[in-house]
Structure 1
Amino acid sequence: MSPCHSNRTWSLTFNYFGSTWGRLFPPEIPDRKRNHPSVVKSNDLNTQDIGRELADKIMIHFKGMRPYLIINHLGRSKIDVNRPIEEGVEGEDSITLMAWNDYHNFMQTAIKDVEVNFDHGLLIDIHGHSHPKNFIELGYVISTETLSLSTSHINENAEIYSGSSIRALYTRKSSSIKFANLLYGKTTSLGGRLQSHGYDTVPSHIHQHPIKDEKYFHGGYCVQKYGSRHAEHILDAIQIELSRTLRVGDKERRSNVILALSESIAEFLREYY
């Protein structure tokens, strides 16, 4: 695990569960053997490479200032840092526990630096999915059922924004923007910006919510733990789930989506951070 620091008010993080190269499965770290629905052992391919290239492109947008970059190099069959420790680590092995704690200590170090030096920040957590729909899925710790509510209901129910991972952002901007616009506005949301680049994204102004019974990741452990749904946190968090077709195989397709992500995130940062 390794952090890269800069004077930015945001972090770019992603859980690297192995890729087509650079995977680490040291034999001294036991495999995760427990079997229940929350224990996932398959790899999110190419997320490390996407994250590194995305950080490089973001840096260009902000005159060479690089985001914090936190990488877990271990394969997911060994450890899952996007799960609570009792689910992400097998048994009480000291090496595995140290690796899980190191990753989250790096996260907390970056977050503390933002808290000390800036008024607010943004964490981006990058993952991959293999759902039938090849959408980019954005997670704000808001369920499919809640996203399916009417726009007026979303805007009028304080419990929805206060339970989201971008509570701090909305609190700062509530006098000038409705919460639903932050989630799926055409020009005011991250999803809207990605959709304008030609990538089907949920939530966005085209796909405000997943279709009923459609698989959708609304935000995992890291976004839930570190995002501003906790009133004492100033750091917002958004989980980005990229479909397998965008991550694997066609390098030109992957480069194009990284470019769209970098431009969309940079626009989002300039507008709100």
Structure 2
Amino acid sequence: MEQETLEYIDGYRSSCKYHCNGNVNIILSVPHGGSLMPDNVPDRTKEVYIHLLNTNNSFHDAEHCKINVIKDIRTDEFTENVINELNKIGNLKPFIIIGKWHRKKVDFNREILEGTLNNPEAISAYKNYHMNLNDAINQVNHLFGKGLLIDIHGHAQGNYSMIGYMLSSNQLNQNDLSDPSFKTSIESLCESNRNESIRGQTSFGSIFERHELGVAYPSLANPKPGSRVFFHGGYIIQNYSSKINAIQIELPYDIRTGRNKRMNAQNFAQVIVEYMKINNLLVTK
């Protein structure tokens, strides 16, 4: 089957780019891989954030009030490699939103005040990213009736991947995840067996490991993160999981940038397709 080149549209002042004409019910979001540093948008700083919170009468302990401006290196490049591989698998073209502005200027994976620090240009960029993401979700739900949003990140906490379903490490360290108070970002898939959906044979982490992408938490082989740093899901999946199944993926540096990065992207694309097929999610047009 002949592959078609994906055409991207630039968002507000090139703050993001997006592909809104997908033919499969997959949405890929990459909020932290951007490098552009527009001169007239000030850097996000902790001091400005605390000032804004105080102005809004929102008390926060300054010691624990942080602004993260670290870029997720090459998550954009890795995701585009994954997209190319999906295109090779049955000409699959997902819906895509990729941030292009550096996280110093805007953070698309935070609520709007923290993400923009009330700068008008940052607000416009932020709203454009989320408008396109929301439009993609609405299109997927309208065209296919169901789908999967994967929010792709990078981390430097160790050589393991984190599969975020909005369950904290404390929750994942429990033997039984069937507690109804343990709300996840894939609730529609957890109705029959929450433990299986999160860390069983059909879970994303288990399929990820079977495709030789290294250790993933949670999975059948590695069900509990223990005392390791574990990012369970940020603003994007928390905000949109009521509308669509959503998973945050945190990939270690070597998977994104190492000598096997192309093979890793190929394997990751296969993981997405296998996961969606096994869980009766995949729909194409």
TM-score (norm 2): 0.83
Name 1:97's counterpart in structure 2: 123
**Does the 8 A contact of 1:138 with 1:203 survive in 2?**
yes
Q: CA deviation at 1:96?
A: 1.0
Q: CA deviation at 1:189?
A: 1.0
Q: CA deviation at 1:197?
A: 2.5
Alignment RMSD: 1.4
TM-score (norm 1): 0.86
How much identity, in percent, do the aligned residues show? Answer: 29
User: What whole-Å deviation, never above 9, does each CA across 1:219-262 have from its counterpart, x for those lacking one?
Assistant: 111011111xx3xx2x10001101122223x3x32122212211
Name 2:41's counterpart in structure 1: 29
- The whole-number CA distance in structure 1 between the counterparts of 2:250 and 2:45 is 25
Question: Which of 196, 200, 204 does residue 210 from structure 2 map onto?
Answer: 196
SS of residue matched to 1:258? helix
SS of residue matched to 2:81? helix
User: What whole-Å deviation, never above 9, does each CA across 1:46-101 have from its counterpart, x for those lacking one?
Assistant: 0100111111112222x2130001011000111100000111112x3221110000
Q: Do structure 1's residue 266 and structure 2's residue 278 form an aligned pair?
A: no
Unpaired segments ≥5 residues, structure 2: 1-15, 48-63
Name 2:155's counterpart in structure 1: 129
Q: What letter corresponds to residue 152 of structure 2 in structure 1? A: I
Question: Which of 70, 81, 85 does residue 97 from structure 2 map onto?
Answer: 70
Q: Do structure 1's residue 145 and structure 2's residue 145 form an aligned pair?
A: no
Q: Do structure 1's residue 184 and structure 2's residue 199 form an aligned pair?
A: yes
Question: Which of 242, 246, 249 does residue 255 from structure 2 map onto?
Answer: 246
User: What whole-Å deviation, never above 9, does each CA across 1:107-158 have from its counterpart, x for those lacking one?
Assistant: 1100111122222110000000010x210110000011111111xx313x22
**Does the 8 A contact of 2:18 with 2:98 survive in 1?**
yes
Structure 1 residues 41-60: aligned runs within 5 Å: 41-60=69-88
The 1:119/1:264 distance shift into structure 2, 3 A limit, reads same
Q: What letter corresponds to residue 269 of structure 1 in structure 2? A: M
**Does the 8 A contact of 1:38 with 1:87 survive in 2?**
no
Question: Which of 237, 243, 246 does residue 223 from structure 1 map onto?
Answer: 237
Name 1:166's counterpart in structure 2: 186
User: What whole-Å deviation, never above 9, does each CA across 1:153-198 have from its counterpart, x for those lacking one?
Assistant: 313x2222xx100002223xx2xxx21111111x311111111233
Name 2:29's counterpart in structure 1: 13
The 1:144/1:60 distance shift into structure 2, 3 A limit, reads same
